[in-house]
Amino acid sequence: MLSGIRIVDLTTVIFGPYATQMLADLGAEVIKVETPGLGDISRYLGSGIPDPTMGSIHLTVNRGKRSIALDLKNPEDAVVLRDLIATADVFFHNVRRKAIERLGFDYNGCKALKPDIIYVHGTGFGQDGPYADLQAYDDVIQAATGTTSLLPRVDGNPSPRYFPSLIADKIAGQFGAQAILAALVHKLRTGEGQEVEVPMFECFAAFMLTEHLRDAALDPPIGPAGYPRQLDPTRQPFPTSDGYLAIVPYTPESTARLMDLLGSAGLLETPEYEAAKAKGRHMPIIYSEIARKTPAKSNAEWLELFAANDIPAMAARDLQDIKEDPHFVATEFFRHRTHPDVGAFHEMQPPVKYGAMPRRDLGFAPRVDGDGAAIRDELAR
C-alpha cells in the first residue's frame, strides 16, 4: 500500500518509532537512523535475550525497519544522512529545534537537499508557545494535560497518578502516522512537500479532552471539566462468584433488560432512581445494584445470560492471559515468530485489515546498524 515510499526515521523511544512502524506495516521502507554503539534507548525497554540491545519493547515498535548508525557530529556521517534525505519522501525526527538546527537538518536545510521532502518534527510542545524548548516524556505530558488528576477523582486518593500506560507517546505516534499519510496525499495531488509539526502536548490534550473538557468548553463554563460517567467511583468491573465482569448497561433498553435479569426491575420505578435520573446522576444507583447481585453467579453463567439478552459484557482478564483469548487465537492477532537474534516470541499483528492488501511479511526489528553497510553501498551506486 505504501510500497515505494521511503521514510528516514531519526526518532527515538516510543512516539516516533511507533508512528513509523505503522507505516512500515503498510509497506513503506523505513530507515532507522541510530546513535552508533547503543542505538535507540527503546532497545533497552524490556528484556532482550540473548542480546540486551534487542529488548521486547524494541521488537514491538521497530519491526520491518532497516537500521543505520550515524554520528551526526561526524562530517562523514552527516553526509550519509544528507544523501539519505535526498532519496527520501519523508524525514521524521524528534530532536529539539535548536539542536537540529546546529546539525544543519532543519526544514530549510533538508528542503535544499530534496525540494519536495515531507519534513516531520515530533516535538514535546508546539513550537510557537512558551514551552517550545522544554523536554517532554510520557509522564510529563500526562501531568501537563491534567490526566494525573483523573484517578484521584475516581478513588479519593488525593495524590496525582499516572495512567499505567505510555499512552501519551502512543497517541502522539498515531497522530504522527496520520500526519505523514495526509502530507503524502497532498504531495501526490500537488507535488509539494511541506513541514509538519506533531506536538505531544497538543495531540494528547486533544485526545483526553474530547470527553473530559465537558461543560468547561462552554463560555462561560456551565460546569467543571471531567466526564462524570468516566469518573464515577462505582464504575468498576463487577464481582462474580469466580471473577469479575465488565457490564455496560448503556441504553435505557439494555438497562431495563439487565435489571430484569438481576431481579431488580422495581429499582427503575423508585422515587430515588427517578430523582437521580432527572439530574443525570442515576448510574451510581445502577452500578451499586449490579455489584450487589452479580456475586450470585459465575462469569460463565452471567455471560451466557447476557449474550442471550444482548447486554454488553466481557470478563475482566489479567494481562498475562490475553494471548490465550479465544477471539485473538481465532483471528491470529498474536503471531508466533522466531527472530534470528532473539529467538521465539509473540508478535501482535496490525489490527486493521485491508481488502486490497493481503497479509504481508512484516519483517523483524533490526540490530543496531544491522543494515548500515548495505544502505551505504546503495547510496554509493
Catalytic residue among 169, 361, 369, 377: 169
Q: How far apart are CA 172 and CA 168, in angstroms?
A: 6
φ and ψ of 17, to 5 deg: -60, -35
Pairing of strands 29-34, 65-69: parallel
DSSP H helices, the chain, are 15-25, 56-61, 75-86, 97-103, 107-113, 138-144, 150-155, 167-190, 200-212, 228-231, 252-261, 271-278, 283-293, 299-308, 326-331, 372-380
> Torsions phi, psi of 96, nearest 5?
-65, 150
H, E, C per residue of 166-182:
CHHHHHHHHHHHHHHHH
Q: How far apart are CA 108 and CA 271, in angstroms?
A: 68
Q: Burial-class residue 140 by CB neighbours within 10 Å (0-12, 13-18, 19+).
A: middle
Which residues, other chains included, contact 343 with Cβ-Cβ below 8 Å and sequence gap of 6+?
Answer: 49, 50
Reduced DSSP (H G I as helix, E B as strand, rest coil) percent helix, strand, coil of the chain, to 5: 45, 15, 40
Residue 369 designated active-site = no
Q: Cα–Cα distance between 235 and 238 in angstroms, integer?
A: 9
CB neighbourhood size of 239 (10 A): 15
Residue in the block written with cell 422515587: 271
**What's the CA angle centered on 241, arms 237 and 247, to 5 degrees?**
30
Using an 8 Å Cβ cutoff, are 44 and 57 in contact?
no
Torsion of CA 183, 186, 187, 193, to 10 degrees: -60
Q: Are 116 and 90 in contact (CB under 8 A)?
A: no
In Å, what is the CA distance from 267 to each residue of 232, 284, 364? 19, 12, 56
| Residues assigned a catalytic role | 169
